[in-house]
Amino acid sequence: MYAGKLNLVDLAGSERQSKTGATGERLREATKINLSLSALGNVISALVYGRSKYIPYRDSKLTRLLQDSLGGNTRTLMIACLSPADNNYEESLSTLRYANRAKSIQNRPRINEDPKDALLREYQEEIKKLRALISGQLGTSDLSCKESDLGIDLHRPAVTREKLVLSQISLKMFIFFYHHFIF
């Protein structure tokens, strides 16, 4: 089973407060948004330039929420919205700089797989190998997964017997794990 997560975040509200004419509660909200965006910019810079090992995720709620999406095992997409108006030139330029830094984040995504499923798949592959090994040594092609079917042929040479015993121990361990932890 594969697991994934998708975060969609709208980072609107980074316009200059003097241009919006916001007062009271809207001004306080805009200030908090700009502080969060500033903290996000600091995280992006720390990830891109990597000068220190400390990434300031805890500086704002926004960066804590986006921590999984910014570094490590993720693919991140940032869409920058610009305004063609002359009076928004500075905001558009700031947005482009912000997006330019964000595109430089280097992540190494990999598939998230449930550890139980990965372990089960690994054991199933091991069982196939052991069955092939045992059937080749015993000359039988029909092997079941019951513990009672795992006898040892004492007439075989010692080296072959040791390999067979190790194979049977691995198979018994899998059967135990399978019956006690999976079901």
Q: Which of 33, 41, 42 is nearest to 14 (CA)?
A: 33
- Give the Cα separation of 60 and 74 in Å (integer): 20
Q: Would you kindly state where each structural domain of the chain is located, as residue ranges? A: 17-103, 115-182
pLDDT tens, 89-133?
888 888 888 888 888 888 777 777 777 888 888 888 888 888 887
- Give the Cα separation of 92 and 56 in Å (integer): 26
Q: pLDDT per position in the chain (183 positions), as tens?
A: 666 777 777 777 666 666 777 788 888 888 888 888 889 989 988 888 877 788 898 999 988 988 888 877 787 788 888 888 898 888 888 888 888 888 888 877 777 777 788 888 888 888 888 888 777 766 554 444 444 444 555 555 555 666 666 677 777 766 666 666 654
As given in the structure block, the two tokens for residue 79 are: 């869409």
From the candidate CATH numbers 1.20.58.980, 2.60.120.10, 3.40.50.300, 3.30.390.30, the one assigned to the domain spanning 17-103? 1.20.58.980
In 3-state terms, what secondary structure has residue 113? strand
DSSP 8-state assignment for residue 59: G
